[in-house]
Amino acid sequence: MPPRLALLAAVGLIVWLFHRDRRLRRAPSLALLVPGAWLAILGTRPMANWYGPEANAAATDLEGNVVNLVVLGFLILSAFVVLRQREFHWSEFIRNNKALVAVYLYLAVSTFWSDYTFVALKRLAKDFGCVAMILVLLTQENPLESIRIVFVRCAYLIFPLSVVTIKYYPDIGRNFSQWGDQMYTGLTMQKNSLGQVVLVFGMMLIWDMLELWRDREELADQQTEIGIRVGMLLMGVWLLLVSNSKTALLCLVLGGVILWGTKHLMRLGHPQQVMACVIAAAVVLGVLEWSFGISDMLIGWLGRDKTLTGRMDIWRAVNQQVTDPIVGTGFYSFWDAKMGATVVEQVGKINTAHNGYLEMYLDGGMIGVLLLVMMLWAGGLKIMETLLEGALFGRLRFVFWIVAIIYNFSESSFFRLGLMWFTLLLVVIDCPLHPEADAGLEESVPVE
């Protein structure tokens, strides 16, 4: 098929999908355009990267790029304006999210011992933009419906165009790794980024499909709507396979299994009991690993070598650098400093440790890691409470919490501007919902 015809077909499909989704459900307000645009950028590439090699080079410069600064700054400002119009109470947000706020405050302080304080502060401000976008979603009259609309429509846009660019526009949809291997990246810049996109949007499509199935008696054309989401999921699986993003594929399968298994956890009566089950499962996995080396078997099944495609070499090189074990090098500063340059010389052109916990250690030392663990623990306990209420969104929150914890053992997403981090924030942030949303969360799903 000629590339232009393929692109035209993809655009036609996207227009049709958007038209059907608008008939199915209306966006509650124009304010959804703000987090929608933010999510679309996180799911593709920075705006400056669309303007050719020169702009791309500038976008990776230490000082940043004016296009990215203007676009993201405008969206962040817009989000704060919306929250101000809604009379959002920041004091209540801080009171309900003490652990998350503590990490952000500590990382802000850490920028003062960074080699590039102003740059680190800018990066942290952009990261906090994710919080503002999520609060715009959660303060909608129907936040759960708003979340579904934004994620599903972004998937409708990104999945078809990623397929078309991979097959017909290789200058956009393909890239080369530091070793010269060809990567299939779609609208993103790296194959692991494409995997993250499919993982997050894929789980959201599954949630949306289950919600539609639950309301099938009220749905006029239920089979078509379910079929559309199945088709999108199949498209996502193809993208995962062609991109060879094994971590994302494993996490997507694991997420589906956990979502199915949550109906058994809902029988438990208290959040601490659920957390105890999670810890027990982690201990069992640790014993199995020590006894039988199940990670080696899993690595072999995934087709990876025992170095996890060079990750162990990266971790070894990073750990050889002398950083402050207590406070680290300052937020997002390691890779711009001399220590980061040394690692790049040893293992290749990278800017990530491929481990979110190690990355936090580099940023904030043991204090940062401790605060991160406290944030995950506090968020997890709140998630357990909504899980026991039986709503699908409560079960999805639990899935993303578990998947994010596992995902960060081989990728870095904590406090890094990306879809996985955005979604983790979405499920751990405690924000008072509109009464209509509270009613939806209290509606239980029968436990089989």
CA atoms within 13 A on the CB side of 103: 27
For tokens 């291997």, the residue is 181
Whole-number Å distance between alpha carbons of 110 and 122: 13
Q: Which two tokens stand for residue 265?
A: 């956890």
Whole-number Å distance between alpha carbons of 126 and 332: 12
Q: Is residue 169 part of a domain?
A: yes
Q: Is residue 263 part of a domain?
A: yes
- For the segment 387-400, the average pLDDT, to the nearest whole number, is 84
Sign of the CA dihedral running 95, 98, 104, 105: positive
pLDDT at 251: 82
Q: Is residue 58 part of a domain?
A: yes
Contact 389, 437 (CB under 8 A): no
Q: Which helix (H) or strand (E) holds 249?
A: helix 246-265
The string of DSSP letters for 200-242 reads: HHHHHHHHHHHHHHHTGGG-TTHHHHHHHHHHHHHHHHHHHHH
CA atoms within 13 A on the CB side of 415: 33
Whole-number Å distance between alpha carbons of 86 and 89: 9
When the pLDDT of each residue in the chain is averaged and rounded to a whole number, the result is 83
pLDDT tens column, 113-136: 988 899 999 999 999 999 999 999
Q: Is residue 447 part of a domain?
A: no
Contact 114, 329 (CB under 8 A): yes
CB atoms within 10 A of CB 112: 11
**Residue 446 banded pLDDT, cuts 50, 70, 90:** very low
Q: Is residue 448 part of a domain?
A: no
Q: Is residue 436 part of a domain?
A: yes
Q: Which two tokens stand for residue 395?
A: 């079960």
Q: Which of 55-59, 150-154, 193-197 has the highest mean pLDDT?
A: 150-154
For the chain, percent helix, then strand, then coil, each to nearest 5? 75, 0, 25
Cβ burial, residue 75 (10 Å; 0-12/13-18/19+): buried
The string of DSSP letters for 353-388 reads: -S-HHHHHHHHHHHHHHHHHHHHHHHHHHHHHHHHH
Contact 314, 350 (CB under 8 A): yes
pLDDT at 435: 45
Number of domains in the chain: 1
Please report, as a single letter, which amino acid is at residue 217.
Answer: E
Q: Which position has the higher pLDDT, 237 or 287?
A: 237
**Residue 244 banded pLDDT, cuts 50, 70, 90:** confident
The whole model's pTM is what? 0.86
pLDDT at 57: 43
CB atoms within 10 A of CB 392: 21
pLDDT at 287: 55
Q: Considering only 12-16, 49-53, 95-99, 130-134, which range has the smallest mean pLDDT?
A: 49-53
Sign of the CA dihedral running 264, 431, 80, 86: positive
**Residue 111 banded pLDDT, cuts 50, 70, 90:** very high
Question: Which range marks the domain in which residue 178 is found?
Answer: 3-442
pLDDT tens column, 191-216: 888 999 999 999 999 999 988 887 77
Sign of the CA dihedral running 381, 387, 391, 397: positive
Sign of the CA dihedral running 6, 151, 351, 121: positive
Looking at the DSSP assignment, which residues form a beta bridge with residue 182?
A: 176
Whole-number Å distance between alpha carbons of 415 and 359: 9
Q: Which two tokens stand for residue 420?
A: 């996985």
Whole-number Å distance between alpha carbons of 414 and 403: 13
